[in-house]
Amino acid sequence: MKIATAQLDAGVTHLDRRRSEIASAVTEAASLGCSLVVLPELALSGYGAGTLISKNAQELSGADVTWLKALSAQTGCGIVCGLALKREGQVYNTALFTAPDGTVIAYDKIHLYGDYEQTLFKRGAASPPVFTFGGLTFGLLVCFDVEFPERVRGLALRGADAVLVPTALPKSDGGAFIAQSVIPVRAFENQVFIAYANHCGKDAMFCYQGQSSIAAPDGQRLAQAPATDPALLAAELDPGAYAACRQQNPYLEEVRLCFDRSA
């Protein structure tokens, strides 16, 4: 399967313009033969929109999700998009998967980063989902989640071939290390693909690291975006191509063996 990650310009803050940028990225990915596109964290509202994020948050039946479902059906692409969702009066930082057939899967971010997110959102309570699409098995995380080894390991042990991660990684020395080193290490140590979609540029509150990527089970980057500019990355995910790597580095098999012995 061919997938894409879309790195978006955080300076585009108007909703209609953000929708236009998203639609253009998904349409271009479809034209390249991609079956799935990963967009950044809070891609519809913008990450740095502050209290407007929670004020404008909608329910699963709202206009934002309806629009994403229509875009998925129109382009034939599965879409993973970060947005704020409201349920029972609480607002969550959510990664939403929409498929062309109307399937919707939502994951609420568990690890909220700093006072900014903890003020705006309620922490997710459910485990990250694993689902099948186009013959591969995928897991969902959001930004800070992927920096916890156990989150990716948990998805890998549940059968994920790839982990899809909308993010809003800020620009810093630590951000550069996460983008350049942590993401490929997470892919290698779990023998999975990781698609990591970030913002670039800046909004009213934050500057972003860019450097979105698609990492392979051998730790190599199949595609890498620059630090400063919007980009659409595309790569082929073929788990069978990494059988030798998995045999050489049987981390998951060893973990399963240890679990079996301790049961």
Q: How far is CA 88 from the centre of its chain?
A: 25
Amino acid at 131: F
Identify the three-state secondary structure at position 66. helix
The Cα 176–Cα 234 span in angstroms is 21
- The answer to whether 232 and 224 are in contact (CB under 8 A) is no
The Cα 195–Cα 223 span in angstroms is 9
- Which residue is catalytic, options 69, 77, 109, 122? 109
Q: Is 109 an active-site residue?
A: yes
Helix (H) or strand (E) holding 45: none
- Which residue is catalytic, options 34, 41, 77, 147? 41
10 Å CB burial of residue 28 (0-12, 13-18, 19+) is middle
Crossing angle for the helix pair 183-190 and 149-157, to the nearest 10 degrees? 30
Q: Is 41 an active-site residue?
A: yes
Helix (H) or strand (E) holding 82: strand 78-87
What token pair was written down for 5? 């990650």
- Which residue is catalytic, options 143, 147, 171, 200? 143
What are the start-end ranges of the H helices in 57-182? 63-75, 114-120, 149-157, 173-177
What token pair was written down for 112? 């909220």
Q: Looking at the annotation, which residues are catalytic?
A: 41, 109, 143
